[in-house]
Amino acid sequence: MKETRQITCIRCPMGCLLTVELTDGAVTKVEGNLCRRGEEYAKMECVHPTRMLTTTVRVSNGAPLPVRSREPLPKDAVFHCMEVLKGVVVTAPVAAGSVIVADICGTGVDMIASTSA
Amino acid sequence: MRYDIAVIGAGVTGSMIARELAKYNLSVVVLEKENDVAMGSSKANSGIVHAGYDARPGTLKARLNVAGCAMMPKVASELGVPYRQNGSLVVAFCDEEMAAVQELYARGRLNGVEHLYVLGREQLFSLEPHLSPAAVGALYAPDAGIVCPYSLTIAAMGNAMDNGVELKRNFPVMSLADRGASFEISSPGETVEAAFVINAAGLYADRVAAMVGDGFFTIRPRRGEYYLFDRSIGNVVRQTVFQAPTAMGKGVLVTPTAHGNLLIGPTAEDIDDKEDKKTTAAGLEKMTLAAAKSVPGLPLNGVITAFTGLRAVGSTGDFIITQSPTHPRLIHAAAIESPGLASSPAIAAYVEAMLQGMGVLTHKRREFNPYRAPIPCPGKMGEDERYSLIAHDPAYGRIVCRCEEISEGEIRDAIRRNPPAADTDGVKRRVRAGMGRCQGGFCLPLVTELLSAELGIPMDQVTKRGPGSEILSGPVK
Amino acid sequence: MKRENRTIHVSLVVVGGGPAGLAAAIRCREQGIEDLLILERGPRLGGILRQCVHSGFGVHKFNEELTGPEYADRYIDRVRELGIPYRCDTMVTDISADHVVTCVSEEHGLTRIKAGAVILAMGCRERSRGAVRIPGTRPAGVYTAGTAQLFVNLKGYMPGKRVVVLGSGDIGLIMARRMRLEGAEVKAVLELMPYSGGLKRNIVQCLEDFDIPLLLSHTVTEIHGENRLTGVTIARVDENLRPIEETKEFIDCDTLLLSVGLIPENELARAAGVELDPVTGGAVVDEHRETSVGGIFSCGNVLHVHDLVDYVSEEAEIAGESAALYLKGELPRRQTVAARAGNGVRYVVPQRISGGGEELRLFFRPDQVCRGAMISVSSGGELLRVRNRRIVTPGEMESIVLKEEELRRVHGDITIEVGLKS
């Protein structure tokens, strides 16, 4: 099955409007890019889009704790992860980098503390 | 609860009257519909203590203005409110306008304004070098001054409360009924009784009067839009600069404020809605052009805020300070438009005299204290004094508002002292936290937190100006 | 309060413990200046990065995508490692031309610090509603994006539930996403200009990911609501940026976030008599980031507003190094020429440079979007250097390096221009 998608390349301020052709979920053609990075971006963004998730969690004895995903996680899991993080309450002290939620929503990615609390 | 006297309205008029009544052995309550004092015309006006040349000779306005202007320095000093006798100028830009200046001079003389001079071009520019080169001369009234209108109101009410007067906020008077020996005054939540009532309800004074059938006056709001500039250009003019009246109207003023900012405005637009305090692009543009006639080239990027004030313009053309014709224990103190602020001490004395005439004010309280110490202002102190103050109370060393250099100690004082600040705007009007160039960008979260802690309420119940104006919608999640 | 000496002496005072102040202090210490002191007005070191919980910091500096707190912590850890003294909750109230820094705090009361040199690193503040003069009522619910960010990320409270953002600078875009992630409805982001001032990546990941509309050439013309915001009137603007009457439209919302520009906080610099650049709002500096007042240096957002913290750190390192040289009496003193913004350029930093020395990087901000741009640097009528760029935008700071050989050819003021490649 063929489909075409239009996305904006974010690899540089040029912001090329890419027309991406997908066949059975695989990128078969990229147009509109001025350089190779556009093609790489299109392949990644159309096949397996990921995002870094950053937010805060509640701390029972202090100000909110900034947390982040250790690495980018699947884009479509973002709101599900947010739901899970809403229920998380930690207690200080927390060391920077400590795991707050391991393997969040089965993504294989840990949520870790961005700083100490 | 039954009181001897109830004052309706905690604007500058009601607050000054309340302070005057606090000198007597009486129970006095002030009923205010808003969450704070000085929320109507007293909050948003030019802050000018007029010398008294403007009002028509023989009117109450003329008489009380001249008297009030003379009383203001002492009252302001007793109340610890900054007052600056900076003088005022009515500037003419052509020969016809000089005729208007001469007319004001003559009127001022008739009104009893003692010091009044007509200046030629050269004298004028030696006083105000930044005026438009088109200026030809001016009327100069050195006795005129500037005072912060809400600071004066807050201090007057605070002093009244310190001397036993009670303030009820969020008490909109819905009905006023004469029960013979006393009046019954009701808000949606509460009813109080009072033997005597002073109607100082500002824009709503006609509605309060109508509750007992007094329909002999009406109050119409007159909108005035202003720009307030950063203090860095607060000294463009030293005097308050008015424009000579022309067929087109009274013009707008350019003035320093008591806090060192620069203020331009107001427009003058008669409207019907007593709550319409919005600013408009058209009004501000027109007002800015008009101000440029006096002082050209004011940098608009120095504007820190715009606001609109409503003046309570009465149907009779004069202040209406009189006993109700039908209910003699009710005194109206209404239609207090400009020069109401300048007149306020004299209005209070005038009402005091009326009540004396009615035999109400018999026993003076010996313990009345006319003084109200201002909240300490470490940012304006010398280094030694500031050091000692912080040593005595470290909260004065913790700066919350960076632009105005306001400490946690001052904000705490604003929330604790009479009349206690109950919202973020109330803190701002008392100690200027959030009044500076960043307009609360940095300090609003800290002030919100302090209010939450001092009032013992959650952060999301702290308001900007009373119920319905919550700063936050709720905790995250 | 501790009773102690009210007057202390140090070699260097760094005013501000954000990214600029931290990097400057570290570099200065690494150059052998032992006796320095960082003054920070907030309760912790790190400045505005503390509330920037999103990622994207450090890509240039560390080749990693860090969050704001992580980026700050790298420098804070180094400050601790080096044992650099600092005072938090300390507000500088005055700086004099002869390097006396006056500050107040709960802990120390009022302290006068006599310093050999001063580095200004106070950062910037956001333009407010008053500064952009939006007419209407004055209800609760109108906040700058940074204030909202502080409420959400540091205090754990939401400023509202139905949001319009005015201004598409990065803070506005980041807050649009933050509010959406926390369950608010973000109705639109409006931008007065025909292009966004934010990074492309933020437009995609903060707006497009969440189907938040970006309305270019739009502004808010009126604010509604007596107590809490009830809505805003928006309109498209014409080429002169004036609202077009027929396009006015009401949007129901309880929150308006403003991301309408940043202003360097230079009130203290002004008090010290430092010459300011009317375009940047920051000090006029030479390549050492020394201001017009000898021994007072400036770096970071108080010098000019940066879009990437990585460049703030870099600039601060220059200031820190220069301050160290100054204190050792080794700061080179040469004749300087002006570096000026020519066509297509809004400003250049540093504004003054000396003709000698090794290579030198000039930072500048384009004044419009230009595709197929040619950047040229000339001095005294002679072209020194030309560089082509596929695109330049006002949202991204540009820089160009002059090599030693080119610097030798500097004879008179330097001008940077951006034009179309011919």
Residues of chain B positioned with their CB less than 8 A from the CB of C104: 378, 386, 390, 397, 399, 407
C239 touches chain B (CB under 8 A): no
Nearest to A114 among C69, C205, C395 (CB): C69
Measured in angstroms, the CA of B429 and the nearest CA of chain A are apart by 29
Instruction: Report the amino acid identity of residue B392.
Output: H
Topology match between the domains C128-260 and C338-420? no
| CB within 8 Å of A38: residues ≥ 6 apart | A9, A11, A16, A18, A30, A32
Q: Report the pLDDT value the prediction gives residue C386, as an integer from 0 to 100.
A: 93
B306, B230: one domain: yes
Instruction: Decide which of C1 and C269 is more confident.
Output: C269
Q: Does C7 touch chain B (CB under 8 A)?
A: no
Q: What's the CATH number for C7-125+263-333?
A: 3.50.50.60
Q: What is the CATH number of the domain that holds B287?
A: 3.30.9.10
Residue B168 scores a pLDDT above 70: yes
The pLDDT value given to residue A13: 67
Answer whether residue B169 is part of any domain.
Answer: yes
CB-based contacts of B7, cutoff 8 Å, min separation 6: B14, B17, B18, B21, B28, B29, B30, B31, B197, B198, B200
Task: Mark yes or no for CB contact C89/B473 under 8 Å.
Answer: no
pLDDT band at C409 (very low <50, low <70, confident <90, very high): confident
CA dist list (Å): B287 to B95, B251, B266, B269, B452: 23, 9, 7, 11, 39
Over residues B312-353, the pLDDT tens digits come to: 999 999 999 999 999 999 999 999 999 999 999 999 999 999
Architecture, CATH, for domain A54-113: Roll (3.10)
Domain-wise residue ranges, chain A: 2-48, 54-113
C338 in A contact zone (CB under 8 Å): no
What is the value of pTM for the model shown? 0.94
In angstroms, the CA B372 to CA C143 distance is 35
Cβ-defined contact of A55 to C53 (cutoff 8 Å): yes
Q: DSSP of B242-281, one letter per residue?
A: EE--BTTBS--EEEE-TTS-EEEE---EE-S-TT---B-H
Question: Does some domain include residue B111?
Answer: yes
Q: What is the residue type of B254?
A: V
Please name every residue paired with C339 in a beta bridge, in sequence order, or none if there are none: C414
- Statement to judge: residues B324 and B271 lie in one domain: no
Tell the burial category of B383 from Cβ atoms under 10 Å away from its Cβ (0-12, 13-18, 19+): middle
Whether C4 has a pLDDT exceeding 70, the answer reads no
Residue B344 maps to a domain:
yes
Contact map slice: B 418-477 vs A, CB within 8 A = 476-477
Residues in C touching A96 (Cβ below 8 Å):
69-70, 73
**Nearest residue on chain C to B425, alpha-carbon basis:** C140
pLDDT score for A1: 80
**Is C4 an interface residue toward B (CB < 8 Å)?**
no
Sign of CA pseudo-dihedral C199, C205, C208, C212:
negative
pLDDT at site C411:
84
H or E element in which residue B340 lies: helix B340-357
Chains that touch A (3 or more CB pairs under 8 A): B, C
Q: Which of B160-169, B196-205, C243-252, C377-386 has the lowest mean pLDDT?
A: C377-386
Token couple for B335: 């239609």
- Domain range for residue B419? 378-461
> Do both B305 and B321 map to the same domain?
no
Q: Are residues B323 and B430 in the same domain?
A: no
Q: In one letter, which amino acid is B402?
A: R
- From C70, C154, C391, residue closest to A14, measured CB to CB: C391
Pair B296, B225 in one domain: yes
Model confidence over B111-140: pLDDT tens digits?
Answer: 999 999 999 999 999 999 999 999 999 999
Q: Please list, in sequence order, all residues whose beta carbon lies within 8 angstroms of the beta carbon of residue B305, skipping any fewer than 6 positions away.
A: B227, B228, B439, C128, C129, C130
Please tell me the predicted confidence (pLDDT) of residue C356: 67
Question: Could you give the residue numbers annotated as active site of B?
Answer: 50
Which residue would you say has higher pLDDT here, A13 or A93? A93
Measure the CA–CA gap between C161 and B380, rounded to whole angstroms: 40
**Which residues from chain C sit within 8 angstroms of residue A34, using beta carbons?**
390
Share of chain A above pLDDT 90, in %: 71
Contacts of C317 (CB under 8 A, 6+ apart): C23, C24, C26, C27
Q: What is the pLDDT of residues B372-400, one digit of tens each?
A: 999 999 999 999 999 999 999 999 999 99
Exposure string over B396-417, b if 16+ CB within 10 A, otherwise e: bbbbbbbbbbbbbbbbbbbbeb
Question: Which fold, C338-420?
Answer: Immunoglobulin-like (2.60.40)
Average pLDDT over residues C286-298: 96
* Residue B437 touches partner C, C-beta closer than 8 Å: yes
Of the two residues C128 and B247, the one the predictor is more confident about is C128
Q: Where are the domains of chain C?
A: 7-125+263-333, 128-260, 338-420
Non-local CB neighbours of C83 within 8 Å, separated by 6+ positions = none
Q: Is the CB of residue B247 less than 8 Å away from at least one CB of chain A?
A: no
B133 and B208 in a single domain? The answer is no
Residue of C nearest to A34 (CA): C390
In this structure, the answer to whether residues B442 and B334 fall within a common structural domain is no
∠ CA B250-B254-B257 to the nearest 5 degrees?
A: 125
For the stretch C52-111, pLDDT in tens is 999 999 988 999 999 999 999 999 999 999 999 999 999 999 999 999 999 999 999 999
Structure tokens at C317: 């390192």
- Please give the mean pLDDT across all residues of chain B: 96
The alpha carbons of chain C give a radius of gyration, in whole angstroms, of 22
Q: How far is B474 from chain A (nearest CA, A)?
A: 14
How does the average pLDDT of chain C come out, rounded? 94
**What was the pLDDT predicted at C401?**
93
Percent of chain C as helix, strand, coil, to the nearest 5: 25, 35, 40
**Does B205 share its domain with B225?**
no
Instruction: State residue A2's pLDDT score.
Output: 86
Q: Please calculate the CA angle B87-B90-B91 and round it to the nearest 5 degrees.
A: 120
d(CA C71, CA C58): 7
Domain count within chain B: 3
Looking at the complex, report in whole angstroms how far the Cα of residue C370 sits from the nearest Cα belonging to chain A. 10
Please give the structure tokens belonging to residue B110.
Answer: 């008739």
pLDDT score at C2: 64
Contacts of B151 (CB under 8 A, 6+ apart): B81, B82, B258, B429, B430
The predicted structure's pLDDT at residue B205: 98
- Residues B414 and B335 placed together within one structural domain of the fold: no
Contact B398, C106 (CB under 8 A): yes
Residue C58 has a pLDDT of 92
The residue of C204, C370, C397 whose CB has the most chain A CBs within 10 angstroms, and thus the best one to mutate to test that interface, is C204
Looking at residue C59, its pLDDT comes to: 87
Residue C1 has pLDDT above 70, yes or no: no
Using the Cβ of C104 and the Cβ atoms of chain B, whether some distance falls under 8 Å is answered with yes
Q: Compare all CA atoms of chain B with the CA of A56 and give the residue at the minimum distance.
A: B476
With a cut of 0.85, is the ipTM above it? yes
What one-character DSSP code corresponds to residue B420?
A: P
C267-277 average pLDDT score: 95
Q: What is the pLDDT of residues C199-230, one digit of tens each?
A: 888 999 999 999 999 999 999 999 999 999 99
Q: How confident is the model at residue B439 (pLDDT cuts 50, 70, 90)?
A: confident
Q: Residue B423: what pLDDT?
A: 98
Kindly state whether residue B48 falls inside one of the protein's structural domains: no
**Scanning every residue of chain C, which has its alpha carbon at the shortest distance from the alpha carbon of A12?**
C200
Whether the pLDDT of residue C3 is over 70: the answer is no
Whether B477 sits inside 8 A of A86 (CB atoms) is yes
- What is the token pair recorded at A22? 């997908």
- Give CA B123 to chain center in angstroms: 32
Using 50, 70 and 90 to split pLDDT, how confident is the model at B212? very high
pLDDT, residue C165, reads 98
CATH class assigned to C128-260: alpha beta
C55 to A51: CB separation less than 8 angstroms, yes or no: no
Compute the distance between CA of residue B166 and CA of residue B3 in angstroms, rounded to an integer: 10
Q: Please report whether residue B78 resides in a domain.
A: no
8 A C-beta contact, residue C257 and residue C129: no
C333 touches chain B (CB under 8 A): no
Q: Is B373 on the interface with C (CB under 8 A)?
A: no
- Residues B391 and B351 occupy one common structural domain: no
